[in-house]
Structure 1
């Protein structure tokens, strides 16, 4: 079960990296766009960077399904 959950985490984080790269954005610009309209619920830079880290590092953070849905909505139309 733990291995399966880790695979899902890795898939979500991998998809985020693909969306950001496909939109031609760097991480800070992508975070600004992702947070637009979220107000105080926006993600912090340190958390955002954790989504792009290797899963084996202590800084790695799981990119939740709800966040992936938002990322698809925000970055999907920007794909080149």
Structure 2
């Protein structure tokens, strides 16, 4: 099965590329797959963090209500 993903040129500092290359070898991935994995992981973490922050706000409001306090 052929992939028809867009091709992008990315400028990366040499030290970052070296770290990605090392991680790719350790994880038995191609360099491209390692870059993609890192970007996807970052986006997932960002989404998860947003969900956690929403839940913390909800819980904080619930605690304030139970304590009879007004939110700041």
Task: Give the TM-score category using the shorter length.
Answer: 0.3 to 0.5
Larger radius of gyration: 2
